[in-house]
Amino acid sequence: MTELSGGPSLPQERRIVTAIPGPKSQELLARKTAAVAAGVGTVMPVFAARAGGGVIEDVDGNSLIDFGSGIAVTSVGASAEAVVRRATAQLADFTHTCFMVTPYEGYVAVCEELAALTPGDHPKKSALFNSGAEAVENAVKIARAYTKRQAVVVFDHGYHGRTNLTMALTAKNMPYKHGFGPFAPEVYRVPVAYAYRWPTGPDHCAEEAAAQAIDMITKQVGPDNVAAIIIEPVLGEGGFIEPAPGFLPRIAAFAKDNGIVFVADEIQSGFCRTGQWFASEHENLVPDLITTAKGIAGGLPLAAVTGRAEIMDAAHAGGLGGTYGGNPVACAAALGAIQTMRDLDLNAKARRIEQIMKTRLTALQDKYDIIGDLRGRGAMIAIELVKSGTKDPNPEATAAVAKACHAAGLLVLTCGTYGNVLRFLPPLVIGEELLNEGLDVLEEAFGQL
């Protein structure tokens, strides 16, 4: 009997052969409980054996529809052919030298691709790292070196990582910050244009939120003290919030007028996820610096800061780097992922996913008044659940729907400052039939409330 491999060859079907989790997953969960720190949580306690396309197969033989992509990482599908081929070839050549000791072409090639793909036609340079949080932290370092200033401005509902500095930048306390302080200083938080919850309504949101944010920066911090303004063009963990149209350009213009480095955190929204290479493009933003990770390398750990050459060159020689940053195997995987995105036109596929999902979810919203808001772009879509007849957050219903989906073989994730958002991040290569089946499962889960 030939053993099935993962990747694109995996049968694209939902298949439930045991309860979720099954007996083998339960055995492994017991081992995890004994050996892994309790602080490392698990959304869905099934242990993966293979994955590819739009499915994850667990150790019990269940095949689950994947609406999570490892939190927007496997956009090209797990074990995509070009990713595996290039990474395998690199593994056979060498696994590591440290780019700061003896460099290699793959690192340079990834930086060249980033210069070509990111918004703007100005000269750009990049530095490669291991994780999104590390990229954000280095963007702050670079901005401080360039401006000779210290303050950093971030936004309500923003998420930027789990290191000490990026916890300070992150808005949500539990589970990301609780009990882990004190945090890094010189971080200031201002309002974001959250249209669904703006007190005077969505029509006034962009103008009023931008005015409030700029007023707070001006009065409480002083623009001349601000090194960087950092924002996610679509706020991820905070609830897939799209800032009201016009807000981001106004903040970017304020940054430019005051010599502040404008940083777009595209770690979750980048690499075709929203139907453009980067979400900044939806409002023609050209960030000074852009941070990327997640979808960049098809599942291998890689992150980057890319930006204006004169800003990127502000840090002194040796001031940027890290032992594993830009690992050669991860760089090979990134080149394979980018090739896949081009070859399959995954921007177009993301836009098609949006069309299908929003059509289905609009019908679901018409049926269930606890769906207060439907939002997102491309394959980065969310619904916010509220208590019937109000805008009060409904995390209980959110958890119940997610639990029902998991039991029926659909992996979904939750998010949001109030824990009341279901977010959908299917692989961009998911088939339409499988996508619609997943939405069928979601609809059935609402029917169980």
pLDDT tens by residue, 295-325: 999 999 999 999 999 999 999 999 999 999 9
- pLDDT for 225-244, tens place per residue? 999 999 999 999 999 999 99
Q: Which residues pair with 305 in a beta bridge?
A: 127, 291
**Taking a C-beta distance cutoff of 8 angstroms, is the pair 61, 15 a contact?**
yes
118 Cβ contact list (under 8 Å, min separation 6): 124, 277, 278, 287, 290, 306
- pLDDT for 246-290, tens place per residue? 999 999 999 999 999 999 999 999 999 999 999 999 999 999 999
Q: Please, which pLDDT band fits residue 1 given cuts at 50, 70 and 90?
A: very low
CA–CA dist 189, 171 (Å, integer):
8
3-class secondary-structure state, position 309: helix
List C-alpha distances in Å: 165 to 168, 177, 183, 222, 227. Answer: 5, 11, 7, 21, 15
CA–CA dist 379, 75 (Å, integer):
9
- pLDDT for 366-395, tens place per residue? 999 999 999 999 999 999 999 999 999 999
Q: Please, which pLDDT band fits residue 4 given cuts at 50, 70 and 90?
A: low
The conformation of residue 33, written as its DSSP 8-state character, comes to H
CA–CA dist 229, 439 (Å, integer):
37
Q: Comparing C-alpha atoms, which of 421, 114, 425 is closest to residue 274? A: 425
Q: Comparing C-alpha atoms, which of 168, 180, 172 is closest to residue 156? A: 172
From the number of C-beta atoms within 10 Å of its C-beta (0-12, 13-18, 19+), residue 323 rates as exposed
The letter for the amino acid at 32 is K
